[in-house]
Amino acid sequence: MEKEHVIGILGGMGPEATASLYLKIISATEASKDQDHFHTIIDSNSKIPDRTQAILYGGPSPVDEMIRTAQNLERAGATIMVMPCITAHYFYEEIQASIGIPIFHVLKGVRDYIDTYYPNSKKVGVLSTTATRESGLFQKALKTNRVVFPDDDSQENKVMAAIFGEDGIKQGHTDGRTKELLKEVAGILIEEQGCELIVVGCTEVELALKPEDLSVPFIDPMQIAADYLTKR
């Protein structure tokens, strides 16, 4: 019998998104007792420098700290890894090259999921950090779809405010005005831009915005990752 893999979570980007992914892994696992669950090792390294600041504004690079964390997980016994931060995938190749175990590429997982379940979709709306938008991560991954982002004003004053603002998700606020801002932007993408799917382009977004808030399918990359990791 093939030995069961050990899941490593390169976390801390941010801590609540890391916890959310672990809960998704638990929920996605077919289990009737504790021992049926996957051995999961979490390194929630919240000291990894901000990815958006590094990509857009010349801030400290997160790469060295991400590599150190990935290597910690490998030494601890992880046999497959996942990063619960979409923007962090900008540095995917460097992190993957530093270790000898595979990192599940979340954006490729999204591409495969859409190709399988929504093969006729044309326009895909993405709610992400500005760094993810500008990096082209989704544009490269979803080559067969037209990827649509909010305009500059909505991106800065609604999406980024909902994630990083004083009353935003990073501050622990996932309801009220934060949720409303994300719903407003998603509504614009759906009703004015004609998006047939909305993709969570930042792991914090799914902490506030839920499938029932939208009139089109809501694609959560971390749920896709959890399903892959528990059923492969």
DSSP 1-67: -PPPP-EEEEE-SSHHHHHHHHHHHHHHS--SSGGGSPPEEEEE-TTSPPHHHHHHH----SHHHHH
Q: Structural domain of residue 141, as residue ranges?
A: 107-221
- List the one residue out of 136, 132, 133, 131 whose CA is nearest residue 149: 133
Number of other CB atoms surrounding residue 148 within 10 Å: 19
Q: What is the pLDDT of residue 232?
A: 67
Residues 21 and 48 in one domain: yes
- Whether residue 170 lies inside any domain: the answer is yes
pLDDT, block means (10 residues), the chain with 232 residues: 83 93 97 96 97 94 98 98 95 98 97 96 95 94 95 96 91 90 96 96 92 96 96 78
**Tally of structural domains, the chain:** 2
Against a cut of 0.95, is the pTM above it? no
Residues 47 and 143 in one domain: no
Question: Domain check: are 205 and 168 in the same one?
Answer: yes
pLDDT for res 1? 36
Structure tokens at 111: 């591409």
Nearest residue to 106 via CA among 145, 71, 80, 124:
80
Residue 2 lies in a domain: no
Identified catalytic residue from 189, 202, 205, 219? 202
Q: Does the annotation count 85 as an active-site position?
A: yes
* Domain shared by 80 and 137, yes or no: no
**Is the distance from CB of 144 to CB of 115 less than 8 angstroms?**
yes
What pLDDT, on a 0 to 100 scale, did the predictor assign at position 2?
54
**Residue 195 falls in the annotated catalytic set:** no
The pair phi, psi for residue 181, each rounded to 5°, is -60, -45
